[in-house]
C-alpha cells in the first residue's frame, strides 16, 4: 500500500509515523514545499521571547534528535520530498502531480490513499502596505527567523502588532518584556481575544497589558500601512498615525484548500474548510484530510467550524492513520479548549463565550462570575477570575473562561470543563464534579464548584445580579435612588464612604441586625471584595422583605482589576 501525504508539519507527520508503526509494510511518501518540516509552530512566539534558545529546538524530538528529512528516512522509514510542491490531484487515476522547487522538474506520484494535511495560510487584511519590507506574519519558521534576526541586529525600535488574538498577545510579550521595546497593539474589535472571552475578563487582560507598557488601541480602524523607500514606517488608522519599523500581522488564518478545490473535493462554503466525516475522510473516500485545513464539528453548537490548533491536528492524524491501516477510529469534534500565556497571566477557555452563545441562538444565555483563590487561602498565590456561560432556561453549560496567574491552575480547570462539555452538562453536573483537594493544590470547593453555585443562584433567582458598568454609571450620574451597602471592614470601605454620600459601610459581622433600618424605597446595591459576603447579606435583606436588592458579580475586586478608579 502506498500512502501519499501532502503537508509535513503536525497532522501529516503524525499520520506518517503512526501508520508506519501500524503497517510497517506500507510505503509512505511525505511531500512538503518547505525545507522545515515537523516543527512545533505554537512555540514560535517563545523563540522570539528567548524561552526557546534556537530555532532547531522547535524541530527536535523529546530525546533531542532533529526531525529533518534524513531522520524520517533513516529512523522512521518514511520517504520525504522537501521543497516539493503538490500542484494537482488526479482523483480518477489516483495520481498527484508534483513540482520540485529546486529545478522545476515535474513528476507524477500514484497513491492508494492520499492525506491532505496542507494547513492554513495567513489572513492578510485588505489594506495597502502589507507587502512592505518590515511587515511580517508568523506562519512558519522562516518568519520567526527573520523577525528574530531584526531584533538581534537592533533594527527594531518601534514594533507594532495588528490583532489581539492568541499570536498577537504572545508576541507583544516578546517585543515588550523580552526585548524591552515600546510596543503598540491595534485591535479592530472593542476587546482583546474577541469571541474567545467576554468583556469582564478581557478588561482584566487589557489592564494587565497596559501595566506592562503595551500601548493597546481597541476599535482600531486601519486605513493603510505606510512606507518610505519600500520600508514600513507606521500604520495609519482613521484618527491617528502610529510609527513602526516592524509590523506583525496577527490577523488570523484560513484553511489552505486550493488543491482540494481544484480536485473537486467538497469544501464548506461557510467555513472554507475541507468537509470530512468522523473518520476524517473527505468526499473522496480514498482521500483523508486533517489539521488546520478541515472543517470539524463544534460539540456545543453542532455546527461546522475551523479550529487551527496543533493539539487537534495531532489527534486527527492519529485517527487518519488508524483508519488507513484498517482499524476504526473517529474524531468526534471540538469544544475549542485553549490556553495561552500573556506576560504574568494564564488565559484559558472552552466552549462558547456569551456573545457567541447568543449569536448561535441561545437567547437566554448569561454568565456567572467568580473570583477565588486557586489554592487554600493560606497557600494562596493570588486570585483567579472565572466565567461560566450557561443557558438560563435549560441550565445547559455553554462555555467556561478563566484568567489568572501564570500557574497550572488555569489549565486544570479548563481540562476539567473541556472533558465534560462534549456530554452537554448542566450546571448541576458541575456542582457534583469530583475534583481532587489538598490545600497546596486546591480549595475544598474548587473554583469550578463555586462558579457553578453562583450560576445556580442566578438561575433560581436567589439574588439579582447587576453589572459593574451599570453601578459605575449610576455613581457617575449621582443617582439618588441607590444606596451602596459596603459590607467589608471599615478600613477597606473608608475611602469610598467618605467620597460618596450614598456609599455606606455596614460590616458583615453586624449586618444581620443593622440592615433592618435601611430604607425600603431605595435600590440597595450590596458589595464586598469578591461577592460571597454580599450575596449572603442580600439573602438576609430578602428575608427582611427588601425587594430591590442587587449584587454586582465579582465584588469590587473585579472593576479594580480593570483599572477603574472609584
Alpha carbons within 13 angstroms on the beta-carbon side of residue 341 total 15
As a whole number of angstroms, the distance between CA 463 and CA 535 comes to: 7
If you search the block for the grid coordinates 484559558, which residue do you land on?
348
Q: Which residues 6+ apart lie within 8 Å of 7 measured at CB?
A: 31, 32, 115, 116, 117, 118, 119, 291, 293
Q: Which is nearest to 242 in space by CA: 175, 180, 165, 183?
A: 183
366 to 361, 455, 456: CA distances (angstroms) = 12, 9, 12
Whose grid coordinates read 441586625?
513
Extract the C-alpha cell encoding 99. Answer: 513540482
Phi-psi bin for 382: left (phi > 0), alpha (psi -120 to 50), beta?
left
Query: Do 178 and 209 meet the contact criterion of CB atoms below 8 Å apart?
Result: no
Q: Which of 11, 17, 42, 528 is catalytic?
A: 42
Identify the bridge partners of residue 402 per DSSP, sorted by sequence position.
348, 386
CA distances from 194 to 202, 363, 380 (A): 8, 19, 30
Indicate left, alpha or beta for 298 from its phi (over 0: left) and psi (-120 to 50: alpha): beta
Q: How far is CA 536 from CA 260, 511, 526, 531, in A?
A: 59, 10, 10, 9
Asked if 278 and 296 count as a contact pair (C-beta separation under 8 A), the reply is no
Q: Confirm whether 342 is a catalytic residue.
A: no
Look at the chain and count its residues: 566
- Mutual orientation of helices 447-459 and 409-420 as an angle, nearest 10°? 50
Residues labelled catalytic:
42
Amino acid at each position: 500500500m502506498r500512502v501519499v501525504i501532502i503537508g509535513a508539519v503536525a497532522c501529516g507527520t503524525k499520520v506518517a509515523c503512526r501508520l508506519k508503526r501500524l503497517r510497517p509494510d506500507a510505503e509512505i511518501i511525505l511531500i512538503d514545499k518547505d525545507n522545515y518540516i515537523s516543527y512545533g509552530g505554537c512555540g514560535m512566539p517563545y523563540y522570539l521571547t528567548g524561552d526557546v534558545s534556537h530555532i532547531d529546538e522547535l524541530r527536535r524530538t523529546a530525546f533531542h534528535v532533529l526531525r529533518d528529512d534524513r531522520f524520517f528516512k533513516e529512523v522512521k522509514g518514511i520517504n520525504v520530498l522537501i521543497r516539493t510542491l503538490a500542484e494537482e490531484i488526479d482523483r480518477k487515476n489516483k495520481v498527484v502531480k508534483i513540482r520540485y522547487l529546486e529545478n522545476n522538474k515535474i513528476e507524477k506520484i500514484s497513491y492508494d490513499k492520499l492525506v491532505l494535511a496542507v494547513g492554513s495560510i495567513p489572513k492578510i487584511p485588505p489594506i495597502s502596505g502589507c507587502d512592505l519590507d518590515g511587515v511580517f506574519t508568523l506562519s512558519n519558521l522562516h518568519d520567526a527567523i527573520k523577525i528574530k534576526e531584526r531584533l538581534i541586529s537592533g533594527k527594531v525600535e518601534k514594533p507594532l502588532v495588528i490583532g489581539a488574538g492568541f499570536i498577537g498577545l504572545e508576541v507583544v510579550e516578546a517585543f515588550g518584556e523580552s526585548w524591552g521595546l515600546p510596543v503598540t497593539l491595534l485591535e479592530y474589535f472593542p476587546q482583546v481575544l474577541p469571541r474567545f472571552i467576554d468583556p469582564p475578563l478581557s478588561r482584566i487582560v487589557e489592564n494587565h497589558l497596559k501595566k506592562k507598557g503595551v500601548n493597546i488601541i481597541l476599535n482600531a480602524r486601519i486605513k493603510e500601512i505606510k512606507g518610505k523607500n519600500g520600508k514600513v514606517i507606521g500604520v495609519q488608522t482613521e484618527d491617528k498615525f502610529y510609527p513602526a519599523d516592524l509590523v506583525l500581522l496577527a490577523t488570523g488564518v484560513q484553511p489552505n484548500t486550493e488543491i482540494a478545490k481544484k480536485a473537486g473535493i467538497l469544501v464548506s462554503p461557510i467555513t472554507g474548510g475541507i468537509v470530512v466525516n468522523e473518520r476524517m475522510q473527505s468526499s473522496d473516500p480514498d482521500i483523508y484530510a486533517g489539521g488546520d485545513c478541515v472543517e470539524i464539528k463544534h460539540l456545543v453548537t453542532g455546527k461546522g467550524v475551523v479550529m487551527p490548533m496543533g493539539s487537534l491536528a495531532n489527534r486527527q492524524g492519529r485517527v487518519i492513520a488508524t483508519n488507513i491501516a484498517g482499524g476504526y477510529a473517529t474524531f468526534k469534534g471540538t469544544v475549542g479548549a485553549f490556553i495561552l500565556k500573556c506576560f504574568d497571566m494564564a488565559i484559558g477557555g472552552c466552549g462558547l463565550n456569551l456573545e457567541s452563545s447568543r449569536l448561535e441562538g441561545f437567547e437566554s444565555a448569561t454568565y456567572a462570575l467568580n473570583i477565588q483563590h486557586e489554592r487554600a487561602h493560606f497557600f494562596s498565590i493570588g486570585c483567579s477570575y472565572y466565567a461560566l456561560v450557561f443557558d438560563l432556561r435549560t441550565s445547559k453549560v455553554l462555555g467556561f473562561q478563566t484568567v489568572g496567574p501564570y500557574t497550572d491552575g488555569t489549565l486544570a480547570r479548563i481540562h476539567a470543563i473541556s472533558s465534560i462539555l462534549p456530554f452537554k452538562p448542566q450546571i448541576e453536573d458541575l456542582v457534583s464534579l469530583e475534583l481532587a483537594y489538598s490545600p497546596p493544590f486546591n480549595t475544598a470547593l474548587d473554583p469550578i464548584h463555586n462558579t457553578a453555585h453562583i450560576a445556580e443562584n442566578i438561575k433560581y433567582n436567589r439574588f439579582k445580579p447587576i453589572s459593574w458598568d451599570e453601578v459605575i454609571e449610576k455613581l457617575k450620574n449621582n443617582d439618588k435612588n441607590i444606596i451602596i451597602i459596603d459590607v467589608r471592614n471599615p478600613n477597606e470601605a473608608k475611602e469610598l464612604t467618605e467620597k460618596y454620600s450614598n456609599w455606606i459601610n455596614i460590616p458583615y459581622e453586624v449586618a444581620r441586625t443593622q440592615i433592618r433600618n435601611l430604607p425600603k424605597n431605595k435600590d440597595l446595591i450590596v458589595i464586598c471584595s469578591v461577592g460571597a459576603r454580599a450575596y449572603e447579606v442580600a439573602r438576609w435583606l430578602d428575608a427582611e422583605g427588601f425587594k430591590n436588592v442587587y449584587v454586582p458579580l465579582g465584588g469590587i475586586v473585579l472593576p479594580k482589576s480593570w483599572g477603574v478608579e472609584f
